[in-house]
Chains A and B, each alone.
Chain A
């Protein structure tokens, strides 16, 4: 079945550090890939999506590029702020006709001022 793997369970950075959160997926079709962010006490919020190979999604300074060859969609940000502290989820939407939407386990980011 489809799956999403986020390598880092927790990441701790200082303000202005570069962020990378790794996301790899496994799917039978050609899925859409998503990043969501969840702040404490709230539900996850959509960050951005990419739906074809080499497409870059971006929002609020975060970006990720769909790479079908390496089955990856890594999240990056050049300079993190304390307000970026949250849980980040990578997700996929399967296009094979059997409706599936799969979330990764989440990565908790803590940014220290």
Chain B
């Protein structure tokens, strides 16, 4: 099956903990992304990663960091979570280029208590 896979589906944690989310794509794409989707369904791009080139949205706090072992995997680490980090984190992939459609995973819902 070719798709974008994310684990875990849900994660509940306490303020100050570290969390890590995994994303894998089997579509043969060379570019991957992390998005944050808030409770109002606003989609905000956090990172894009292409052939080891990382493009960071400058509004993303430094406690967030992407980690990639190869072009099929892009994980997201949050070093010390805060309540405002509660959201759905969506991973996506595409061929390189701004005209390429993106394929999304089902998301990881993070709740910070």
Shortest Cβ distance from B55 into A: residue = A99
Residues of A within 8 A of B101 (CB): 34, 46, 49
Query: How many residues from B make CB contacts under 8 Å with A?
Result: 22
Residues of B within 8 A of A103 (CB): 43, 45
- The residues in A between 92 and 113 inclusive whose CB is less than 8 angstroms from any CB of B are 93-95, 99-103, 105-106, 108
| Bound: A88/B39 CA distance, A | 15
A77 to nearest B CB, angstroms?
Answer: 19
For the complex of A and B, the 10 pairs showing the least CB-CB separation, nearest first, are A43-B104, A93-B98, A46-B101, A32-B99, A103-B43, A106-B41, A44-B104, A43-B90, A43-B105, A87-B41
Would A31 and B103 count as touching, CB distance under 8 A?
A: no
A4 to nearest B CB, angstroms?
Answer: 10
Query: How many residues from A make CB contacts under 8 Å with B?
Result: 26
The interface bits of chain B over 35-76 (1 if a CB of A lies within 8 angstroms of the residue's CB, else 0) are 000001111010010000001000000000000000000000
B contacts, CB < 8 Å to A: 4, 33, 40-43, 45, 48, 55, 90, 92, 97-107
A90 to nearest B CB, angstroms?
Answer: 11
B29 to nearest A CB, angstroms?
Answer: 13
| Bound: A94/B102 CA distance, A | 14
- The residues in A between 1 and 57 inclusive whose CB is less than 8 angstroms from any CB of B are 31-32, 34, 36, 38, 41-46, 49, 51
A-B contact pairs, 17 of them (CB 8 A): A32-B99, A36-B102, A42-B106, A43-B105, A44-B90, A44-B102, A44-B104, A46-B103, A49-B101, A51-B99, A93-B97, A93-B99, A95-B99, A100-B98, A101-B33, A101-B102, A106-B41
A contacts, CB < 8 Å to B: 31-32, 34, 36, 38, 41-46, 49, 51, 87, 89, 93-95, 99-103, 105-106, 108
What's the count of A-B pairs with C-beta under 8 Å?
56
Would A43 and B41 count as touching, CB distance under 8 A?
A: no
Residues of B within 8 A of A95 (CB): 98-99
Shortest Cβ distance from A94 into B: residue = B98
